[in-house]
Amino acid sequence: MPFQPIEPRRIYRQIADQLRQLIQSGEFAVGSRLPPERDLAVKMGVSRPSVREALIALEVQGLIGVRVGSGIVVIGREPERLLDNEHGPLEIIRARQMIESELAATAALSEDNTLVPDLEEALREMERDIASQTLPINGDRNFHMRIAQAADNSPLLAIVTQLFDERKGPLFARLGSHFERETTWRQAVAEHRAVIKAIERHDPKAARAAMTGHLENSHTRFSAGWSSPNEQETNKR
């Protein structure tokens, strides 16, 4: 069964469906490796991040095992679980970037004297969790929700809350397990601090830029990609 071009509609699900069909048809037997992420992207005419989300979905379903630096191995032919119709993690980050950048600019105009102290406490909570090797999601959530609250707009707050809480889904959790490390969280804390400084200066342009940059970096961290053995050899040359 040849690879088929992908149409731009919930792309990662279409990619995952096509790869699942190839596995179930025997095109890729249990124990075999799928082509490298880069090759899959070229053959299917899609971006590597979209392929990455699809591979994460198949991993969550128990069809493949993603081993960083070793490749993508088929480990089953039938899904162990069904996935909810959730959005792709990288798509969510892009949506958050569009909304939260403007909310950060709005927060910079706020006269609420509790805003900056609340944001600083959220950072301290993140730092405590990082130091204790605990996932600092709660402090991260408090930081982003507090900025959204500064707009004093309940529908916007509800949207930001819903988007952030997508992190609790299986795709986001599995993606994070591959790419989130202490170093990446410390980078996020530093980026948060830049947002706080801009808000404290009442500089909406800088606050917007800092939040845009933070979520752009977040997208980059999650879309770092896996290197197959062949890609590693190529990179050494």
Residue 128 and residue 22 in one domain: no
For the stretch 119-135, pLDDT in tens is 999 999 999 999 999 99
Asked if pLDDT for residue 231 goes beyond 60, the answer is: no
In a domain, 100, yes or no: yes
For residue 47, the domain's CATH number is 1.10.10.10
In a domain, 76, yes or no: yes
pLDDT at 9: 57
Question: Which of 40, 67, 84 is the last residue before a domain boundary?
Answer: 84
Domain hosting 77: range is: 11-84
DSSP 8-70: SSSHHHHHHHHHHHHHHTTSS-TTPBPPPHHHHHHHHT--HHHHHHHHHHHHHTTSEEEETTT
Residue 95 and residue 212 in one domain: yes
DSSP strand E in 31-175: where?
Answer: 64-67, 71-74
Residue 100 and residue 214 in one domain: yes
In a domain, 62, yes or no: yes
Predicted TM-score (pTM) of this structure? 0.82
Residue 140 and residue 62 in one domain: no
Residue 41 and residue 67 in one domain: yes
Question: Which of 68, 84, 100 is the last residue before a domain boundary?
Answer: 84
- Please, which pLDDT band fits residue 237 given cuts at 50, 70 and 90? very low
Residue 44 and residue 77 in one domain: yes
In a domain, 112, yes or no: yes
Asked if pLDDT for residue 230 goes beyond 50, the answer is: no
In a domain, 113, yes or no: yes
Residue 53 and residue 138 in one domain: no
- Taking the CA atoms of residue 88, residue 90, residue 92 and residue 97 in that order, the dihedral angle to the nearest 10 degrees is -170
Least confident residue range of 68-72, 141-145, 219-223, 227-231: 227-231
CA distance 193 to 141: 15
Residue 156 and residue 62 in one domain: no
pLDDT at 179: 84
Q: Kindly state the average pLDDT of the residues 92-110.
A: 97
- List, in order, residues 6 or more apart from 98 with CB less than 8 Å away: none
Mean pLDDT of the chain: 89
Residue 102 and residue 217 in one domain: yes
Number of C-beta neighbours around residue 74 at 10 A: 20
Residue 114 and residue 218 in one domain: yes
Q: At what angle do helices 204-222 and 170-179 cross, to 10 degrees?
A: 90
Residue 41 and residue 135 in one domain: no
Q: Kindly state the average pLDDT of the residues 19-45.
A: 92
In a domain, 233, yes or no: no
For residue 175, the domain's CATH number is 1.20.120.530
In a domain, 176, yes or no: yes
Number of C-beta neighbours around residue 94 at 10 A: 13
Asked if pLDDT for residue 229 goes beyond 60, the answer is: no
- Taking every pair of C-alpha atoms in the chain, what is the biggest distance, in angstroms? 63
CA distance 149 to 165: 16
Q: How many domains does the chain have?
A: 2
pLDDT at 222: 85
Question: Which of 84, 112, 132 is the last residue before a domain boundary?
Answer: 84
The token duo for 4 is: 């088929």
